[in-house]
């Protein structure tokens, strides 16, 4: 039996998610659906935690991250959201997957299979006693999956760059390129989304749809219009790096972390 809790404030979305989960997996049981931070905290404090939590991020009374800050959650979490700007924060909790709405059946199936595969590895290798939960195992594996070196092409050469050399990655006019601290530019074939998964979230931050920045490249932050922020780097950039009002507090928290 696979037990699941859904945290979602849109009734129609919650019903569709429940229906799809129970349709795709015969042994899956959705224990409950909660719609707010308050009700989520109450449920997790009063009930045994499920095998998996499917959670929206933007709820009516705030971001669902507040739930997982206040309660030690032993369940891995699959975040389902209409926004792509919370991915780094999601994986700093017990997140094992990040799905953008509308969630199709194939991606939903892959998320649950990911959980099942992780659980099999734990049982098969007898590593479960050494970890408090599946997420701690995921964290230990993921820590070794971030790139320390990337290969870039320049003319006829293939050049290894350490991630410490990367000041920022920028999407501009259909191209993605790496800018190093010594002001060399290398075009890459990956999208910004793809490259983001290769970089350690403690060192790199997805500022917006155009920029991923290295912590060491940040010079200052300035207040901008409509509660947004302007991020200034130690290197020149071809356009201003504007941080949304939603993402600004996440950036400040990330900077303050170390």
**For 151-168, how does the pLDDT look when each residue is reduced to its tens digit (9 = 90+)?**
888 888 889 999 999 999
Q: Is pLDDT at 131 greater than 50 in this prediction?
A: no
Residue 145 has pLDDT above 90, yes or no: no
Contact 247, 208 (CB under 8 A): yes
Q: What is the pLDDT of residue 200?
A: 85
pTM of structure: 0.54
Residues 6+ apart with CB under 8 A from 149: 160, 161, 162, 163
pLDDT of residue 213: 96
Check: CB of residue 188 under 8 Å from CB of residue 212: no
Q: For 174-225, how does the pLDDT look when each residue is reduced to its tens digit (9 = 90+)?
A: 899 999 999 999 999 888 888 887 888 889 999 999 999 999 999 999 999 8
For 35-76, write each residue's pLDDT tens digit. Answer: 999 999 999 999 999 999 999 999 989 999 999 989 988 788
pLDDT digits (tens, 9 = 90+) for 1-43: 899 999 999 999 999 999 999 999 988 999 999 999 999 999 9
pLDDT classification of 129: cutoffs 50, 70, 90:
very low
Order of strands across the sheet with 241-243? Answer: 218-223, 229-233, 241-243
Give the single-character DSSP code of 211. E
Measured in residues, the chain has a length of 258
- The pLDDT value recorded for residue 95 is 82
Q: What is the pLDDT of residues 92-120, one digit of tens each?
A: 677 888 888 888 888 898 888 888 877 77
Determine the pLDDT at residue 88.
66
List, in order of start, the domains of the chain with CATH numbers: 2-142 (3.40.50.2300), 149-256 (2.40.50.40)
What φ, ψ does residue 162 adopt, rounded to 5°?
-75, 150
Contact criterion met (CB below 8 Å) for 166 and 195: no
């Amino acid at each position: 039996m696979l037990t699941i809790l859904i945290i979602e404030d849109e009734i129609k979305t919650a019903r569709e998610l429940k229906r799809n989960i129970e349709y795709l997996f015969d042994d899956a049981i959705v224990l409950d659906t909660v719609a707010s931070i308050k009700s989520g905290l109450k449920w997790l404090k009063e009930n045994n935690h499920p095998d998996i939590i499917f959670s929206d991020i933007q709820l009516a009374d705030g971001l669902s991250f507040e739930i997982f800050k206040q309660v030690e959650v032993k369940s891995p979490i699959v975040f389902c959201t209409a926004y792509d700007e919370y991915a780094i924060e999601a994986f700093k909790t017990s997140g094992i997957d990040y799905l953008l709405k509308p969630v199709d059946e194939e991606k939903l199936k892959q998320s649950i299979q990911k959980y099942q595969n992780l659980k099999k590895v734990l049982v098969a290798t007898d590593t479960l006693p050494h970890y408090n939960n599946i997420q701690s195992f995921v964290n230990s594996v993921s820590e070794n999956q971030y790139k320390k070196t990337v290969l870039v092409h320049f003319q006829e050469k293939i050049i290894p760059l350490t991630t410490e050399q990367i000041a920022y990655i920028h999407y501009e006019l259909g191209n993605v390129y790496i800018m190093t601290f010594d002001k060399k530019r290398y075009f890459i074939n990956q999208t910004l989304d793809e490259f983001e998964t290769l970089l350690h979230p403690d060192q790199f931050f997805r500022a917006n749809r155009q920029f991923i920045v290295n912590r060491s490249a940040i010079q200052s932050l300035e207040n901008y219009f409509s509660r947004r922020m302007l991020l200034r780097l130690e290197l020149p950039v071809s356009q201003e790096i504007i941080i949304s009002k939603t993402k600004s507090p996440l950036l400040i928290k990330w900077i303050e972390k170390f």
